[in-house]
Structure 1
Amino acid sequence: MRFFASALTLSLSLVALPLEAQEPARPKSQKEQPQPATPSPPRASSLDELFERLGKAQSEQEAKGIASLIERRFSRSGSDTADLLLSRAAEAYAKKDFPLAIELIDRVLTIQPNWAEAWYKRATVFYQLDDPVGAMADLHRALKIEPRHFNAWTGLGHVFMASDDKGRALEAYRRVLKINPQMEDVKTIVTRLSPEVDGQDL
């Protein structure tokens, strides 16, 4: 449903005692044997860190990998019930059963009204049902909750383009590129639209 710590090695200097002061070494018991350190699992990047990496990505491939991680975060609401309902809505959408998809997402939003991804997904369904007003309203709700939702900005650009509002469409697409500069399809649209909206350079 898209529009879219390393371990530090310490060197210890041991000063030997005079031979006469040394005691014979005693074998260490099983309990006394040093245990190998268990490496700590890598810390998951925060959403803010992922967006920072996305903005600095040097290639489209790198950006796609980071964007995929962000989308996975977006797709988790914190409620197993809401997540399950949204996955069923995605199945209904894939089967083009749009009324069922809307019904399921309505239930999701009753449980998790502040879940940006659910608003974005319902906007996608409204768009397929040729309801640009409903789609636009839901996209604005998604962006109010998560202003960095690049898929929602892309969807908003598509809605404006469909209504021939090229000025606002270009503004939305430029917002996408501020968040994810490596989206090649959006860069192509901006390159094509810019002369029409801003005027050709003389």
Structure 2
Amino acid sequence: MPAMRIFVTLILASSALAISMASGTPLPAAEASPQSETASLATPEQQLDSLFAELKKERDEDRARDVANRIRLQWQDSGSATVNLLMQWADKAISDDKKSMALDILDQVIVLAPKYVEGWNRRATLHYQMGNFRKSMSDVSRVLLLEPRHFGAIAGMATMLDDAGKSELALRAWQQFLDIYPSDRKAQEQLGALAEKLAGSRT
């Protein structure tokens, strides 16, 4: 997906990575729903491709949310029992408000499985919760290099860019999000609000 990779490269080069960002509400992890017929496909990559194709064409909000949750379920499974257990421990530490412990665990996840997208994504969310916005943006960028279709990471990037006053880049991020997940109501509202804001600033 060259357009997405160009977008990620632009973000990595942006000065938004080097400025302080205001805090906001982190994106929660979603519950996964039952498996669909994609489970019969040969590889996890093929299953994801099929789910993303379904997500892109689905216009019903509830059915699209179900597809998105199945995608999240795919992302959560690292393929390693050890890494999956560490992720459970990290989640427990976060729920117990032991963020430093959770961060140490997620650091180990990334060392053990550097290509595991959800390890980077979970650490990005935790950095965001802890106010480490530059580190969060760096981890989000790594997520998108590994999985350019990661709509959760794109939403997080869009939020941080908007908080940093980078409204045009945030607008582009939401456009990329909606190209992947077009029926998401919140993303539609964010895109509309940013478009109105930018239009107003030019008049």
TM-score, scaled relative to structure 1: 0.76
Instruction: State the 1:97 CA deviation.
Output: 1.4
Identity %: 29
The 4+ residue runs of structure 1 with deviation greater than 6 A are: none
SS of equivalent to 1:136: helix
User: Within 1, Cα distance between the matches of 2:151 and 2:55?
Assistant: 11
Q: How does 1:145-160 map to 2 (within 5 A)?
A: 145-160=146-161
**Higher helix fraction (1 or 2):** 2
SS of equivalent to 1:46: helix
1:83-130 Cα shifts (integer Å, max 9, x gaps): 110111111112221111110100101110011111111000000111
1:40-85 Cα shifts (integer Å, max 9, x gaps): xx72471100000000112110111100110000001111101110
Q: What's the counterpart of residue 27 of structure 2?
A: 3
Higher relative contact order, chain-length normalized (CA < 8 Å, sep 6+): 2
Q: What's the counterpart of residue 43 of structure 1?
A: 40
| Structure 1 range deviating more: 144-153 or 91-100 | 91-100
Q: How does 1:39-188 map to 2 (within 5 A)?
A: 43-44=40-41, 46-188=47-189
User: Within 2, Cα distance between the matches of 1:139 and 1:50?
Assistant: 22
1:12-42 Cα shifts (integer Å, max 9, x gaps): xxxxxxxxxxxxxxxxxxxxxxxxxxxxxx7
Instruction: State the 1:152 CA deviation.
Output: 0.4
Instruction: State the 1:3 CA deviation.
Output: 1.0
Q: What's the counterpart of residue 196 of structure 1?
A: 197
What amino acid is the match of 1:82?
A: V
Instruction: Tell me the C-alpha RMSD between the 2 structures.
Output: 1.9
Give the conservation status (yes or no) of the 8 Å contact 2:51–2:67. Answer: yes
Give the conservation status (yes or no) of the 8 Å contact 2:59–2:182. Answer: no
| Unaligned 5+ runs, structure 1 | 5-41
| Unaligned 5+ runs, structure 2 | 1-25, 29-38
User: Within 2, Cα distance between the matches of 1:93 and 1:80?
Assistant: 20
What amino acid is the match of 1:171?
A: R
TM-score, scaled relative to structure 2: 0.76
